[in-house]
Structure 1
Amino acid sequence: MATTTTGVAAGEALLRVEALALHYRTRQGAVRAVDGLTFDVKRGEALVVLGESGCGKSSLARALMRLHPRNLAHHGGRVWLGETLISELSDERFRREVQWSRLALVMQASMNALNPVVKVGEQVAEPLRELKRWPRRRALERAAEVFQRVGLPLDFMARYPFELSGGMRQRAVLAMALVAEPELVILDEPTSALDVLTQAAIMNVLKEIKRDQGTSFILITHDVATSSELADRVALMYAGELVETCSAERFFTAPAHPYSRMLMESVPRLHERRRPRAIAGQPPSLLDPPGGCRFAARCPARFARCAEPSPAFVPGGGAREAAGEGASESRHRVRCWLHAPSGGGEHG
């Protein structure tokens, strides 16, 4: 098996996250936006993080990138990138050795991510000049290469952000994230404000980059249809927790968690006569989430055990998979008492 420069063999976990938490301080108390997430991303893999607005998806991106707000109450857990325990690095080392160079982020609202008074080409080249100390000319040459890679005309390098359309600004922000050739790129709702044709064009660019360069992606979105274009695996978030992780094929055809099934039933289907069904109710407050299953109040399959603390995170195939069957789904995990063979399972 081929080995990368970081010592991680192709196909092995590039990113490993254990018990990641990010809580915000408010006058009412701590908001537990990210509350003990454990997952991994393989090299060359695209993990899609799905969930309703307010479930903690964007906070997950901030936690991984250490983009802490001023009202930070708690940031914990362990994160490995390759063989490096990046969660133990000092802020300065993390900024110099990880941010943009190995781990990059494409944020929501691309216009807000660009400086309105600096030309786009200079902004795309900036990570190379700041972090790698490249001379301006060399950095701009690399920026030109990435402009072409994401489908931006080279003359746009001399333009200001306000002179670009929304789709072109999104491509520019993507170019900024890719310019230093990071191993993993986090995409936070990269197509949410774009028209359907521009969304398709952006997703095609991402698929080409993934195929040609082997870049790993974490795509954060609430758009099930768009996510299916890129996903190798899906992680579904609900109220600050992960409730299911599995292959994209499994998730889009036969999800295990009741929330996953209801989410898929809410999506319109082109060739089906059934009408989409809304999910009744509201997510719980993250100021004081319930002690048992956080989806229980909205779940039609709830039963007495759902009120017990910390529902199990178990193999998605239940007892059969735990016994060794379904090896292709060995990474399928679901946080639901319905799938616990004997009411047990690993917690976290």
Structure 2
Amino acid sequence: MAAAPLLEIDDLRLAYATERGTVRAVDGVGLTLRRNEAVVILGESGCGKSSLAKALLRTLPRNAYAPEGRVRLDGAEVLGLPEERFRRQVRWVRIALVMQAAMNALNPVVRVGEQVAEPLRIHRGCSRRQAAARAAEAFAEVGIPGDFLQRYPHELSGGMRQRAVLAMALVTEPDIVVLDEPTSALDVLTQAAIMNVLKRIKRDRGVSFVLITHDVATSSEIADRVALMYAGQVVEEASAEAFFTAPAHPYSQMLMASVPRLHQPEPPQPIPGRPPSLLEPPAGCRFAERCPQRFDRCSEPPPALPLGERHRVRCWLHATGGGRP
């Protein structure tokens, strides 16, 4: 019998009010995450990946409408919780966030050790001494020397700052850590080191990860499952093995064909065109304008069609009796 999901996202929607109109950044996203599982959310810039993370943590800008849909944590609905209760029971207690651009996530005039210890004092009620001791343990866990606790953010390298932000997310021992482009500003060797830290923490502590990235190569290092987003929707959700070896959605196939590989006989193939505006998304399949396999039924919005256990694809080519004639 399969384990019950730790996190269930069902028909999640998030929109922003702008001068040009309403941007539907997250539009009907469904996703599941189990314990000790890493789900990678892939997609181009502007597809709604980071907005999904903000909706989960409810760290929304002022122009965002209240998220709609259902988010269940261990079977309990949390999206509709009052803000104060959500802050005390969920944010940084059950779900923590590693934000993009670590330097922007750290206060430049507060020592790093104090910033890592702060969530323990706020959410766990620890004394200053207890919090400092646990912060030192978290630093050691992510590979930062103990004397770095007394340093300011500008005194750390990019890789060390990213490790410090990771320690800040882990220090309260949450069930889930959401990582928003955690390696995007780092060199290749530092990226590899950070991914090794994440794999070790997942193995040793059983933490579940939601990794948001556009980097296919980096995501393959840790992924158990992959959810590919396009224009605010998840167009394919599959196991990492199925996605990376036999992707089903045309966008997934073209994305994998665009990734450079060693000993690849053909050069990487670019994906022509550009994503649609989320101010006025297409009525039918949102990838249709760029899809070489489109046909008449693509003018209708495709549902998320099941292909196997926990494998879904939003494409009419996989509908029973609904494929290309």
- Letter of the 1:101 partner, please give it: V
User: What does 1:1-348 correspond to in 2, within 5 Å?
Assistant: 11-308=3-300, 310-316=301-307, 329-343=308-322
Aligned to 2:191, the other structure's residue is in SS state helix
CA distance in 2, matches of 1:83, 1:26: 34
CA distance in 2, matches of 1:230, 1:224: 11
After superposition, what is the alpha-carbon deviation per residue over 1:41-89, rounded to whole angstroms, capped at 9, x for unaligned? 0111000000001000000000000011111134211101113211121
Distance apart, 1:28 and its partner CA: 1.2
CA distance in 2, matches of 1:110, 1:12: 33
Aligned to 1:250, the other structure's residue is in SS state helix
After superposition, what is the alpha-carbon deviation per residue over 1:242-284, rounded to whole angstroms, capped at 9, x for unaligned? 0000000010000000000000000001121210000000100
Aligned to 1:87, the other structure's residue is in SS state coil
- Letter of the 1:334 partner, please give it: V
Aligned to 2:67, the other structure's residue is in SS state strand
Matched with 1:325 is none
Cα RMSD (Å): 1.2
After superposition, what is the alpha-carbon deviation per residue over 1:117-174, rounded to whole angstroms, capped at 9, x for unaligned? 1000000000000111110000111111110000000000000000000000000000
Aligned to 1:315, the other structure's residue is in SS state strand
- Letter of the 1:339 partner, please give it: H
CA distance in 2, matches of 1:283, 1:273: 28
Comparing 10-19 and 192-201, the one that deviates more: 10-19
Matched with 1:319 is none
8 Å Cα contact 1:104/1:178 also seen in 2 = yes
TM-score of the aligned structures, taking structure 1 as reference length:
0.91
CA distance in 2, matches of 1:69, 1:22: 11
- Letter of the 1:313 partner, please give it: A
Aligned to 1:88, the other structure's residue is in SS state coil
CA distance in 1, matches of 2:67, 2:228: 21
CA distance in 2, matches of 1:256, 1:239: 18
Aligned to 1:96, the other structure's residue is in SS state helix
8 Å Cα contact 1:312/1:340 also seen in 2 = no
CA distance in 2, matches of 1:255, 1:175: 34
After superposition, what is the alpha-carbon deviation per residue over 1:27-48, rounded to whole angstroms, capped at 9, x for unaligned? 1110000001011001110000
TM-score of the aligned structures, taking structure 2 as reference length:
0.98
CA distance in 2, matches of 1:74, 1:81: 19
Structure 2 portions without partners, runs of 5+? none
Percent identity between the aligned chains?
68
Structure 1 portions without partners, runs of 5+? 2-9, 317-328
8 Å Cα contact 1:33/1:240 also seen in 2 = yes
Comparing 68-77 and 238-247, the one that deviates more: 68-77
Aligned to 1:100, the other structure's residue is in SS state coil
Distance apart, 1:95 and its partner CA: 0.5
Aligned to 1:212, the other structure's residue is in SS state helix
8 Å Cα contact 1:30/1:73 also seen in 2 = no
